[in-house]
Amino acid sequence: MSISTLLENYSEYRHIHPVDDVPHNPYKWAMAIDLDACSGCNACSVACYAENNLPVVGREKFAHGQVMHWMRIERYWDEDGREFPDQGARFLPMMCQQCEAAPCETVCPVGATNHTPDGINSQIYNRCIGSRYCSANCPYKVRYFNWWDYPTTDNVWPAEMNLQLNPDVTVRSKGVMEKCTFCIQRVTVAKNDAKTQGRLVRDGEVQTACQQACPTSAITFGNLVDPNSKVHKKWQAQQVELDKDEQTKDMAEGGSELRGYRIYEQLRPFPSVMYMERVRESAI
Amino acid sequence: MKDIREDIAWAQINKDVLKSLENPRKLYWVILFIAIAMVGVAVGCEVYQYNTGLGVGNFDNPHVWGLYIATFIFWIGMSHSGTLLSAILHLMHADWRKPIYRFAEAMTTFSLMTAGLFVAVHLGRVWNIYFALPYPNMRQVWPNFQSPLLWDAMAIFTYLSSSILFLYVGMIPDLAICRDNMHPGWRKKLYTAIALGWEGTDRQWRNFRVTYLTIACFLIPLAVSVHSIVASDFAMSQQPGWHITSFPPYFVAGALYSGCAAIITLFIILRYVFKFEEYMTMSILKKIVRLTFAIAMVWTYLNLVEYASVWYGDDQAAKHLLIQKATGTYAPFWWMMNFCGSVVPFIMFFKRFQTHIPVMFSVSLLLNLGMWLERWMIVSPTFADGYYPWTWDHDQWPSFVQWGIVFGSFGWFAMLFMIFCKIFPSVSMYEVKEMVYHRSLATKKLEATGKLAATGKGAH
């Protein structure tokens, strides 16, 4: 029986390629991040720690690069000769880009990371054996490995702090890979609610933790298939298309005035996160 | 210089080789003791890592692979020359391989076993390693057949099992000799069981030849494919410095290279330890040294091709990485690798060093140091200077746990190898006899033609 699964239906278990393949229906979760609005306050990162039970690794492990921030704020200093505190900086919130043709998915030897039908790059902790090939092949390096057994490590969640752990999210043990899930626990709840009421998830019904915490509303999350969703409208306004490895607007002579772009588009991972370039002066 | 004296009596060959099973020089025990101590270090490190988590290796989040993967490739590579000597040269009827192919084939088997351990050591959850095997199960969960890592697991497993089979089949006539010459005891019982009732009849020899040839033919494409697949782990990925079309041949050349260098090292050790001076002659050493030199040049060529194609190519990330390799954190190791891999072999170019044992011993060790560094320079710099500038990380350094396990793996290999050589004949007796026979035939023929020419002259 299981051999027949392998021979006949194997492709069913693989991800859907964005080019010339079955389109997502009825959901394709995507994001739009406005860098002009981002003030680099790190609220999104903190919210992510709280929502997704991320271990707080402490100063020493942070210095070793073993930090587990699924959502990180990257800070790029201006190089215009000014010194801190007058020096300006630009910020880039970076999390898993939920690529449609994800480089991490094809290389996992055990298939622990897969594409869901609604376009999220899922990670199955129980299946992961910790070969870390996915992280090696990720162009954005947004996958985080549990180098230590954090739940039993002192001061990760000191007594009573463990009571604030989110019951909807697994606490990961040592030796597994993890990354941003687009708050899949919230998405699943919303989808289930919608299903019981015989409708589709409404725009704005699901918010990711980072989106919810963002004081400037720089992050928009939603269903890209729904033509009335905010995220769809933003992608459309910026003329960014999911299944392109180079956008038509950028191929036009003289480029485009529009701000929308996706990181490492030319590598063809078809990321689901669109960024909008910063146009203001750097924040100080 | 002769590969072997043609007047060695067959009984003498048996006697000399069987002596190696019982009476090695003292150095044997020294090597074995050091090897076991080294394994102890590795076991200690692994127990610590297993209990605490891979963090003790000082990996960090973009830099997720380190010495384990590099050393894994190194050991896989080491295994290739055994097959080169035992299978490819067998098909080419190169007689000089006969006294040395047995230990080379053992080297193949044991270095594959060592490499296999590194897969386990590297994994975050080694207790679930069987998830990577395509075993039928109730949940209908399969491994991912698109992953080069899975091809890797399968290729190595196939290569290892075929190598063990090849080693064993080629040993059967010798095991029968051991059986017939040993005093009663556990050894005699062992040889009796595994010689499979070999009597040396015509029919047995015919079947034996066919079997041996078949496995040899099966093993050659396998050997090439195994290291090509290991290369695919990198070439199939998207990262700068890995995504290179020439990687499979480059890896195979590197594999043969480090394997040949290791054969020289072991040749010199075995020759001394087991008093094989009559069989592992200087003439044979000279032939392996020349072979190694040729492969070194192939490797150098492929290396230069890679640098040139990156340098003149349009891939900015790869070019940046190449410059970082030559000037950044890893620069001393990168230059050392190029020096050991491409400059040191030129010592082999000089005839007087080709049979100079201390020089060849140190050269072979340097070559393997270079080849180990090569693997490290493939794995680590890509993490330090990958695509994403934010994650560039020049400070990551492997901890003592990683170094300890790498160090201990050499002990593990030496331990297995030394134990093998003490239990099984490490020189193929029946093939050395063949070699002696071929030589004496050739001498007789030479004498006969000489006589004929002389009498022909007289007739005029």
What H or E segment, with its residue span, contains residue A276? Answer: strand A273-276
Contact B110/B416 with Cβ under 8 angstroms? Answer: yes
For A129, the closest of B65, B128, B383 (CB atoms) is B128
Measured in angstroms, the CA of A81 and the nearest CA of chain B are apart by 21
Nearest-5° Cα angle at B383, B378 to B389:
135
pLDDT band of residue A83 (cuts 50, 70, 90) is confident
Number of domains in chain B: 1
CA angle B444, B446, B448 (to 5 degrees): 70
- Asked whether the beta carbons of A109 and B149 are under 8 A apart, the reply is yes
Q: Do B147 and A133 touch (CB under 8 A)?
A: yes
Given an 8 Å threshold on Cβ–Cβ distance, is A145 in contact with B387? no
* pLDDT given for residue A284 in this prediction: 57
Chain mean pLDDT for chain B: 89
Tell me the mean pLDDT in the region B145-157: 89
**Both structure tokens of B185:** 């005891």
Q: Are A109 and A131 in contact (CB under 8 A)?
A: yes
> b/e for A171-182, b at 16 or more Cβ within 10 A?
bbbbbbbbbbbb
pLDDT > 70 fraction of chain B, expressed in percent and rounded: 98
Q: Supply the pLDDT for residue B23.
A: 78
Beta strands in B339-444 (DSSP E): none
* Chain B residues in contact with A94 (beta carbon < 8 A): 390
Position B429 pLDDT exceeds 60:
yes
- Shortest CA distance from B69: residue in chain A: A131
- Specify the range with the lowest mean pLDDT, choosing from A15-29, B235-249, B365-379: A15-29
A1 to chain B: which residues are within 8 Å by CB? Answer: 140
Whether B454 maps to a domain, the answer reads: no
Contacts of B128 in chain A (CB under 8 A): 129
Residues found in chain A:
284
The pLDDT score that the predictor gives to residue B322 is 93
Tell me what the mean pLDDT of segment B196-206 comes to: 91
If one compares B298 and B278, the residue with the highest pLDDT of the two is B298
Q: Are A115 and A98 in contact (CB under 8 A)?
A: no
Nearest CA in chain A to B392: A141
Write down how long chain B is: 460
Chain A residue with CA closest to B145: the answer is A109
Residue whose C-alpha is closest to residue B364's, from B255, B284, B268, B252? B268
Give the distance, in angstroms, between the CA of residue A157 and the centroid of all CA atoms in the same chain: 24
A165 to chain B, closest Cα gap in Å:
22
- How far apart (Å, rounded) are the C-alpha atoms in residues A51 and B343? 57
C-alpha–C-alpha distance, residues B409 and B368, integer Å? 14
Chain A residues with CB under 8 Å of B129 CB are: 129
Contact A175 B236 (CB under 8 A): no
User: Minimal Cα–Cα distance from B314 to chain A, Å?
Assistant: 13
Asked whether residue B448 is assigned to any structural domain, the reply reads no
What's the pLDDT tens digit per position in A162-213?
888 999 999 999 999 999 999 999 999 999 999 999 999 999 999 999 999 9
Contact A109 B239 (CB under 8 A): no
Q: Which of residues 64-83 of A touch B (CB under 8 A)?
A: 64-68, 74
Alpha-carbon gap: A197 to the closest alpha carbon of chain B (Å): 31
- What distance lies between CA B358 and its chain's CA centroid? 21
Q: What is the pLDDT of residues A232-275, one digit of tens each?
A: 999 999 999 988 888 888 888 887 889 999 999 989 899 999 99
pLDDT for A19: 72
pLDDT of residue B15: 85
Distance from CA of A205 to the nearest CA of B (A): 33
Q: Do B124 and A1 touch (CB under 8 A)?
A: no
Q: Which residues of A are less than 8 Å from B142 in CB distance?
A: 2, 5-6, 10, 13, 111
Q: Give me the pLDDT at residue A15, please.
A: 56
Of A2, A110, A139, the CB nearest to B144: A110
Query: What letter would DSSP give residue B143?
Result: -
Written as one letter, the residue type at A215 is P
How far apart are the CA of A222 and the nearest CA of chain B, in angstroms? 26
- Measure CA of the first residue to CA of the last residue in chain A; give whole Å: 63
Higher-confidence position of B459 and B440? B440
DSSP string computed for B333-351: HHHHHHIIIIIGGGGGGSH
> B388, B394, B395, B401: which to substitute to probe chain A, counting the most A Cβ within 10 Å?
B388
Does residue B413 lie in a domain region?
yes
Rounded to whole angstroms, the Cα distance separating B170 from B160 reads 15
pLDDT digits (tens, 9 = 90+) for B321-372: 999 999 988 999 999 999 999 999 999 989 889 888 999 999 999 999 999 9
CATH architecture of the domain covering A14-276: 2-Layer Sandwich (3.30)
The nearest CA of chain B is from the CA of A26 a distance in Å of 27
Output the domain CATH number for residue B59: 1.20.1630.10
CB of A22 within 8 Å of a chain B CB? The answer is no
Contacting A residues, span 94-113, partner chain B, CB-CB under 8 Å: 94, 103, 106-111
**pLDDT tens-digit readout, B387-411:** 988 888 777 889 999 999 999 999 9
The tokens describing B194, both together, are 């595994």
B-chain CB neighbours of A130 within 8 Å are 54, 123-125
Interface contact flag, B124 A145, Cβ < 8 Å: yes
Look at residue B311 in the predicted model and tell me its pLDDT: 92
Residue B459 pLDDT exceeds 60:
no
Tokens 């490290």 correspond to B376
Contact (CB, 8 A) for B331 and B323: no
> How far is the C-alpha of B25 from the C-alpha of B4, rounded, in Å?
22
A106/B146 touch (CB, cutoff 8 Å), yes or no: yes
Q: Which two tokens stand for residue B423?
A: 């239990």
Give the residues across from A77 on adjacent strands: A89
Contacts of B383 in chain A (CB under 8 A): 136
Judged against a pLDDT cut of 60, whether residue B456 lies above it is answered with: no
Kindly determine whether residue B153 and residue A139, on different chains, have CB atoms separated by under 8 Å: no
Chain B CB contacts of A144 below 8 Å? 61
Task: Give residue B458's pLDDT band: very low, low, confident or very high (50, 70, 90).
Answer: very low
> B62: nearest CA in chain A?
A141
Residue A231 and residue A220: Cα distance in Å, rounded? 6
Q: Kindly determine whether residue A136 and residue B137, on different chains, have CB atoms separated by under 8 Å.
A: no
CB–CB of A176/A130 below 8 Å? yes
Rg of chain A (C-alpha set): 20
Among the partner residues A6, A94, A145, nearest to B142 by beta-carbon distance: A6
In the 3-class helix/strand/coil scheme, how is A15-42 assigned residue by residue? CCCCCCCCCCCCCCEEEEEECCCCCCCC
Would you place residue A1 in the very low, low, confident or very high pLDDT band (cuts 50, 70, 90)? very low
Q: Are A97 and A273 in contact (CB under 8 A)?
A: yes
Interchain CB distance below 8 Å, A131 and B386:
no
Nearest to A30 by CA among A206, A252, A179, A178: A206
125-154 in chain A: CB under 8 A from chain B: 127-133, 135-137, 139-141, 143-149
When CB atoms are compared, the residue of A65, A111, A136 closest to B396 is A65
A102: nearest CA in chain B? B238
State the residue range of the domain holding B415.
Answer: 10-435
Q: Are B227 and B251 in contact (CB under 8 A)?
A: yes
Please say if the pLDDT value at position B181 is more than 70. Answer: yes
Q: Is B398 within 8 Å of B121 (Cβ atoms)?
A: no
What pLDDT is stored for residue A271 in this prediction? 94
Instruction: Give whole-number Cα distances, A264 to A83, A149, B189, in Å.
Output: 31, 33, 66
Q: With respect to residue B2, please indicate whether it lies within any of the assigned structural domains.
A: no
**Residue A5 to residue B142, Cβ atoms within 8 A:** yes
Tokens 């950028």 belong to residue: A250
What is the reported pLDDT for A80?
84
Select from B53, B131, B238 the Cβ nearest to the Cβ of A137: B238
Q: Residue B374: inside a domain, yes or no? A: yes
Q: Which residues of A touch B60 (CB under 8 A)?
A: 64-66, 147
Per-residue pLDDT of B53-87, as tens digits, reads 998 998 988 899 999 999 999 999 998 888 877 88
ipTM for the complex shown: 0.89
The conformation of residue A171, written as its DSSP 8-state character, comes to P
Query: Are B62 and A141 spatial neighbours (Cβ–Cβ below 8 Å)?
Result: yes
Which pLDDT belongs to residue A70? 94
Pairwise CA distance, residues A218 & A43, whole Å: 11
Cis peptide before A151 (omega within 30 of 0): no
- pLDDT above 80 for A125: yes
Q: What is the pLDDT of residue B34?
A: 95
Type of residue found at B336: M
Contact between chains at A109 and B149 (C-beta distance less than 8 A): yes
Q: Choosing among B54, B127, B230, which should be mutated to test the A contact, i.e. which has the most A CBs within 10 A?
A: B54
Residue A173: closest CA among A153, A143, A149: A149
How many A-B residue pairs are in contact by the CB < 8 A criterion?
151
**Partner-chain residue, chosen from B64, B143, B388, that has the shortest CB–CB distance to A109:** B143
> Across residues A121-149, what is the average pLDDT?
93
| Strand-strand pairing, A113-115 and A121-123 | antiparallel
